[in-house]
Chains A and B, each alone.
Chain A
Amino acid sequence: MTILAVKNLRVMFKTEHGEIAAVDDVSFDLKQGEVLGIVGESGSGKSVSALAVMGLLPKPPARIAQGEVWFEGENLLHYTDRDMRRIRGPGIGMVFQEPMTSLNPVFTIGDQLMETVRVHQKVGPKAQRDRAIEMLARVGIAMPERRIDDYPHQLSGGMRQRVMIAMALICNPRLLIADEPTTALDVTIQQQILELLLDLRDEFKMAIMIITHNMGVVAEMADRVIVMYAGKIVEQAPVNELFARPVHPYTRGLLDSIPSLDDDRDRLKTIPGTLPRPWALPPGCRFQPRCAFRVDACAAAVPPLVSVRAEHESACIRQDELVAS
């Protein structure tokens, strides 16, 4: 069952360079219990897409110029602020990148957990506290009945991210959006947090949309992957398919730049050039100035996302040749 369907989403931002499209004609969907990975460099529009789904874009400068966001059969873009507040929490939970700054420093974690329960469910203070302790225990915090009265600064980064996850899940959302949930953490802690998210997915039967720039996180977590570049989806495929048979030159570049152990190169492979600035996009395909497979026709028109195989789509005019090679 499809739980989230984003259709032709375009998000515009007012900047000093005029209005730019941070997300341009993006469509994707997510089934119940599925983990969707969204990969791309910083500025590729992945976080903006997530915030658009949550209705948390700062307006102004942001504006949703076009598109639909269907969550459980309702178009969230038609929701009022009040309706959206009922979705955030019990419908969609969100975990952010920076556990150090995402919790309010002046309230205890218990207070911040319980207030979420309080605004969404009609239960008494005792039940709220029990629920918070239960959730803290579930995300792997030792002695939760004592930790619940701690302030965020008394916890380590990994613990704070666990608290953030507990807070996002305390009302049993059907969808969890995790925006770079492990980027700010130590590698060993990263692994624990990712495993925790997968366990919780199985337990709560929720869908997860995980945003990352780390291909390793995608390989570990995702069932399906979307690759974004400069506000557009350039490739989308099941995770095994994407790693085994990447089509788009950008995806290939990303996969090539992962260092591996049985590889004796001195330098990491990189994609030449940088992400274009959104107010100075190149004509045609946005990746063509950096692309090793570039031909003149690439600058003529923006290539549409077309099917390569079953469930595998890519946006490159030379993809038939690339698949064959």
Chain B
Amino acid sequence: MGRVILNRILGSIPVILIVTLITFGLMRAIPGDVSAALGGVSSTLAERELIRKNLGLDQPWHVQLVKWYSGMARGDLGRSIFLGKDVTQATFERLPVTVSLSIYALVLTLIFGMITGVLAALRQNTWVDQASMMFAMVGVSMPNFWIGLMMIVFFSVQLGWLPTGGYVPFFQDPWGWLRSTTMPAVSLALLQIGLLARITRSTMLEVLRQDYIRTARAKGLPNYLVVCKHALANTMIPVVTVIGIIVSLLISGAVVTESVFSIPGVGQLLTSAILNRDYPMIQGGLLFVTLLLVAINILVDVAYAWLDPRVRFEGG
């Protein structure tokens, strides 16, 4: 088990290197750089050249890259050009916002997605099944920024129940946090609930047809044990893989949702960094997002081995 985790951690190093290389390359492939934004519209070419020189942007790409990697190896991701702060510090100020929003959305997804999927499977071809799958289809089909805007119009503007945007830290005011994050989390989760419900339903239907379910019934087990123990444990195996993907989608979806609800999270931080060509901020911020996703994938693999003894024993 420990070896499996170690292998996965070592295996993720090339992933991180490739992602950082791509971000580095892509950012420099976009025309324009930070000097225009920093110098303002009226700055002369000579002034911009000076800014570039001060920031080290006049050096060849490979020199900049080596400098960035050597900084990374020392744990120094550089300073944000615009925020005037350490990149690590700036990211960690915003990360809890995005992570707490994603976790909230994930909890909603797990609860509603799994329950809807399991109920639909158990009541296959009844109105419960059809209504659930219709709901899932609607959830999958609606873009989350549009749902967000509609919710703002309805719950904030018309009814005045919830704030239109902003963010209150959880540890400062839990109730305020709940008020500020519920609409973003719901708009983020709806699509994933639909996705998870559909996968859970089809997996569960497949599992319920298996011979071992018939064996469990033949032993005289009550229905709740057959469903909640024997069927669910097997349904979880493929579903966990999907949950890993859902978490990545939630984090990337948070970028859009954060701008709809003006939430100061990592998504917003990165969007403005990209617009300003704030290279150290973009590279550093994306590195943290990558690390987060890699960690989630390792967690999924661990959960997979924990759920399926056949995988667990293979790894030794």
Interface residues of A (CB under 8 A from B): 54, 56, 81, 84-90, 93-94, 96, 98, 101-108, 115-116, 119-120, 151, 153-154, 164, 167-168, 171
A94 to B217, CA, bound (A): 10
Q: Are the C-beta atoms of A103 and B212 separated by less than 8 Å?
A: yes
Given A151-B310, A153-B310, also A86-B220 (CB < 8 A): yes
17 more A-B residue pairs beyond the given contacts A104-B212, A168-B218, with a C-beta to C-beta distance below 8 A: A85-B220, A88-B217, A88-B218, A88-B220, A89-B219, A89-B220, A96-B214, A101-B212, A105-B234, A106-B233, A106-B307, A115-B229, A119-B219, A151-B309, A151-B310, A153-B309, A153-B313
A81 to B309, CA, bound (A): 32
| Interface: B222 (CB within 8 A) | yes
- The 8 A-B residue pairs with the shortest CB-CB distance, nearest first, are A89-B220, A88-B220, A104-B212, A101-B211, A151-B309, A94-B218, A102-B211, A85-B220
Query: Which A residues are in CB contact (< 8 Å) with B54?
Result: none
Determine the residue in chain B with the shortest Cβ distance to A91.
Answer: B220
| Interface: B206 (CB within 8 A) | no
Given A101-B212, A104-B230, also A167-B308 (CB < 8 A): no
Q: Are the C-beta atoms of A90 and B220 separated by less than 8 Å?
A: yes
Query: A98 to chain B: closest CB distance in Å?
Result: 6
Query: B281 to chain A: closest CB distance in Å?
Result: 45
Query: Which A residues are in CB contact (< 8 Å) with B212?
Result: 101-105
Q: Tell me the dominant secondary structure on chain A's binding face.
A: mixed
| Interface: B225 (CB within 8 A) | yes
| Interface: B19 (CB within 8 A) | no
Q: Are the C-beta atoms of A119 and B308 separated by less than 8 Å?
A: no
| Interface: B293 (CB within 8 A) | no
| Interface: B5 (CB within 8 A) | no
Query: A119 to chain B: closest CB distance in Å?
Result: 6
Query: Which A residues are in CB contact (< 8 Å) with B219?
Result: 88-89, 115-116, 119, 167-168
Query: Which A residues are in CB contact (< 8 Å) with B308?
Result: 105-106
A153 to B311, CA, bound (A): 11
Query: Which B residues are in CB contact (< 8 Å) with A89?
Result: 219-220
A148 to B155, CA, bound (A): 57
A103 to B230, CA, bound (A): 10
Q: Are the C-beta atoms of B218 and A54 separated by less than 8 Å?
A: yes
Query: A177 to chain B: closest CB distance in Å?
Result: 9
Determine the residue in chain B with the shortest Cβ distance to A108.
Answer: B309
Q: Which of B215, B223, B310 contacts A103 (CB 8 A)?
A: B215
| Interface: B45 (CB within 8 A) | no
Q: Are the C-beta atoms of B225 and A119 separated by less than 8 Å?
A: yes
Q: Are the C-beta atoms of A116 and B211 separated by less than 8 Å?
A: no
Q: Are the C-beta atoms of A119 and B222 separated by less than 8 Å?
A: yes
Most buried by A among B220, B229, B233, B307: B220
| Interface: B210 (CB within 8 A) | yes
Query: A1 to chain B: closest CB distance in Å?
Result: 23
Q: Which of A81, A151, A164 contacts B215 (CB 8 A)?
A: A164
